[in-house]
Chain A
Amino acid sequence: MSSREAILARIRAAVADAPAEEPPLPRAYRRSHLAPGADPVGLFAERVADYRATVTRTDPAGLPAALAAALTAHGARRLAVPAGFPAELLPPGAWQWHHEPLTVPELDGLDGSLTLAAVGIAVTGTLVLDAGPGHGRRALSLVPDYHLCVIRAEQIAADVPEALTRLDPARPLTFISGPSATSDIELDRVEGVHGPRTLHVIIVEPREPA
């Protein structure tokens, strides 16, 4: 008997007591922890910033300038840009935009990456990338030490349950909540280990926030 058959047989013997008909699972928890009437975009901005990431809010017209300001502030000049990132958003200036194909050592030599995201989660301050257009393959937003990510306000889901319904599990998903961090030394969180040590999120809203 193969181990597969043996394990399955052992399981069947072990749970012979299980009822064939199961009662429905209790799901009395909330679909969202966003307070009624609260602004998901504002909460998202606050919660992302709680992880010591930088957050900028802007409108479509202000986006190139916001990108330029972020890159200038960080001193990033050589950037990986994934296929599908809208060329018209790239700010004019002395930046080098590096496009795929990029080897991993090439990525390692760049200052940062500039990507879009698939979904945001307001309550947890999380970005999700799904390797779609403008996200790049997973290495692109991982290997360089700085990640500048643009998300549109309508991509921000209130909470985890809603966010999962917006995602396609067939795609490789990366949930990002702040910069790389560790709690391994005395269980105290410090930012910056192997992933990008600086995360900057730019939220694009239909109009200038009041």
Chain B
Amino acid sequence: MTAPNDRGVVWLGSPAFPEAAREALKDGQLRANLRRATATIRDKRLSVSAELDDWEQLRDAAAAIKQHTARHLDRYLVQLEESVTAAGGTVHWAADAAEANRIVTELVRATGGSDDETREVVKVKSMATQEIGLNEHLAEHGITAYETDLAELIVQLGDDRPSHILVPAIHKNRTEIRDLFAAEMGRHGIAAPEGLTDEPRALAEAARRHLRHKFLSAKVAVSGANFACADTGTVLVVESEGNGRMCLTLPETLITVMGIEKVIPSFADLEVFLQLLPRSSTGERMNPYTSAWSGTTEGDGPSAFHLVLLDNGRTDTLADPVGRQALGCIRCSACLNVCPVFERTGGHAYGSVYPGPIGAVLTPQLVGVDSDTKGAAASLPFASTLCGACYDACPVKINIPEVLTHLRAKVVEAEGGRTVEALAMKAAGKVLDSPRLLTAAQKAAALGGKVLARDGRIGRLPGPLHGWTDSRDTPAPPTESFRSWWRKNREGGTS
């Protein structure tokens, strides 16, 4: 039913993390863009979370609610299904990516229109639909999906891949975005205005003009969900730009694809998450817009609402008592923004829609470390220094270092004869790129291996793997779009 190859998540043909990271490290522009952006957001997050003197109590509550929900997920999903249905929505269950894609495609087709008419859907940024490769699947069936989030638009126009879960175009700076808009917008609709500058305000205006008529004419929207309340059937989308409100409000049909772990027991539990999420993600007291709806409402918004509940490896993750905490993730991206490895390699190196520390624990669990995709996924638990910054930043207290060490042990088991030193060194050697650091890292990893040998667990790695302090800037290689790189690699048969 859920062969890992049907699950998406990882980009086929992606090299294992060490090789991808080595390439990324050569890109000085990428590193400058990332350093600038993550430094800005880190400061904002710290200052707004410090405003709440009970931040730790909020984190404890959030972690407890998520863990509790996971342990009784069957009950809460059934309750959610009842509430959504009672409120006028329709609930669908999808075991894997292939089934979810099939459901959404059939729902879009059922909205009518003649067969030769071009079908279009507008989309709100959603990790779940990226995970299942929905846009590509719709395209194969003659349906064009327009991403409406600014960063997703940048990624889509650039034929690129997202590199961050909150800000998918974080690898691009304003000048690169300006050039892309000027070159590409006209080919997909309303062109960028003459003389477009790289002022963020002007770029936002260009996106507004480009997407306006798509919002006003779309019949079907596809969204993800940040939360769904089992008791009331209320589904929430948290956003900034208003593209979410447009998609959730104007079309006749709304299809929401949601990972089964997004359910929370009650509407009242939002009091915890609506305080933690905006402060942890964009560093604001509250994000500009949050939409909450229960089923359908006569005379307001879509007349048909479909909720697709997606498993796609989540029940496998749930079966691991250590690993299941990763399902508590609310996708705030704080762990990415504090991660010294992410800051140097960027998101593409992780080869998955889930990059950074959360990706390093989620991706291998969703697709399995012993599956056909293990080349990319199995290297991810080693893409970390175990410095612990992600754990400290996480608003739902996911102990990412603990899950990483746990998964390292699993990978070692799955690899049979290979040692943890060999795997850790493969990652570290490529990334650190310095003989002195490498030697020290080898010692550190050997130590980790001994610990592993003793009790099946690895402690924090000391030494240079702890800090990743000395990556050198080198001249940037000629730029190449991610997808063209990917195609080339796939055609070269390196998957």
Contact = CB atoms under 8 A, between A and B. Distances in A.
Given A182-B204, A187-B41, A28 B57 contact: yes
Of the candidates B241, B243, B289, B318, the one having the most CB atoms from chain A within 10 angstroms of its own CB is B289
Nearest to A53: B288
Contacts of B211: 194
A170 interface: yes
B10 to A, nearest CB: 21
Given A25-B65, A185-B150, A192 B201 contact: yes
Contacts of A189: 282, 284
B29 interface: no
Contact of B242 (A22, A125, A160, A194): A194
Contacts of A102: none
Of the candidates B40, B68, B241, B311, the one having the most CB atoms from chain A within 10 angstroms of its own CB is B241
A205 interface: no
Contacts of A65: none
A64 B72 CA distance: 53
A190 B271 contact: no
Given A15-B72, A26-B64, A180-B288, A7 B315 contact: yes
B291 A174 contact: yes
B61 A27 contact: yes
A29 B58 contact: yes
A186 B176 CA distance: 11
B387 interface: no
A184 B167 CA distance: 5
Interface string B320-354: 01001000000000000000000000000000000
A6 B1 contact: yes
B83 to A, nearest CB: 10
B79 to A, nearest CB: 12
B318 A15 contact: yes
Given A3-B99, A7-B95, A26-B60, A194 B319 contact: no
A192 to B, nearest CB: 6
A61 interface: no
Interface stretch (B31-39, B367-375, B445-453): B31-39
Contacts of B293: 172-173
A4 B200 contact: no
B288 A170 contact: no
Contacts of A10: 311, 315, 318-319
A181 interface: yes
Contacts of A179: 288
Contacts of A8: 74, 77-78
Nearest to A176: B289
B319 A14 contact: yes
A182 B150 contact: yes
Given A26-B64, A172-B292, A3 B95 contact: yes
Given A188-B200, A192-B205, A180 B240 contact: yes
B151 A187 contact: no
Contacts of B143: none
A126 B287 CA distance: 9
Nearest to A165: B268
Contacts of B268: 161, 164-165
A27 B63 CA distance: 11
B61 A28 contact: yes
Main secondary structure of the interface of A (DSSP, over half): loop
Interface in B410-467: none
Interface in A152-185: 160-161, 164-165, 169-185
Interface residues of A, number: 72
B288 A190 contact: no
A175 B240 contact: no
B321 A17 contact: yes
B157 to A, nearest CB: 13
B288 A178 contact: yes
B292 A194 contact: no
B93 A3 contact: yes
A184 B61 contact: no
Contact of A194 (B148, B287, B290): B148
A193 interface: yes
A47 interface: yes
A172 B301 contact: yes
Of the candidates A22, A30, A189, the one having the most CB atoms from chain B within 10 angstroms of its own CB is A189
Interface string A4-35: 10111011111101110010011111100100
A117 B211 CA distance: 28
A78 interface: no
B105 to A, nearest CB: 16
Given A175-B290, A194-B215, A164 B271 contact: yes
A186 B58 CA distance: 29
A142 interface: yes
Given A124-B286, A193-B204, A139 B249 contact: yes
A123 interface: yes
A176 B241 CA distance: 11
Contact of A138 (B95, B177, B249): B249
A192 B200 CA distance: 10
A10 B1 CA distance: 11
Contacts of A2: 93
A133 interface: no
B204 A26 contact: no
A169 B292 contact: yes
25 contacts: A8-B74, A19-B71, A105-B216, A108-B216, A138-B245, A138-B249, A139-B250, A160-B270, A169-B229, A169-B294, A171-B294, A173-B290, A173-B292, A174-B290, A181-B240, A182-B150, A183-B282, A184-B241, A185-B200, A193-B207, A193-B240, A194-B207, A194-B212, A195-B242, A196-B242
Which 3 pairs from chain A and chain B are nearest by CB? A195-B242, A18-B71, A193-B241
Interface of B: 1, 33, 36-38, 40-41, 51-54, 57-58, 60-61, 64-65, 68, 70-74, 77-78, 87, 93-95, 99, 148-151, 154, 167, 169-170, 173-174, 177, 200-201, 203-205, 207-208, 211-212, 215-216, 229, 232, 234, 240-243, 245-246, 248-250, 260, 267-268, 270-272, 274-275, 278, 282, 284-294, 297, 299-301, 309, 311, 315-316, 318-319, 321, 324
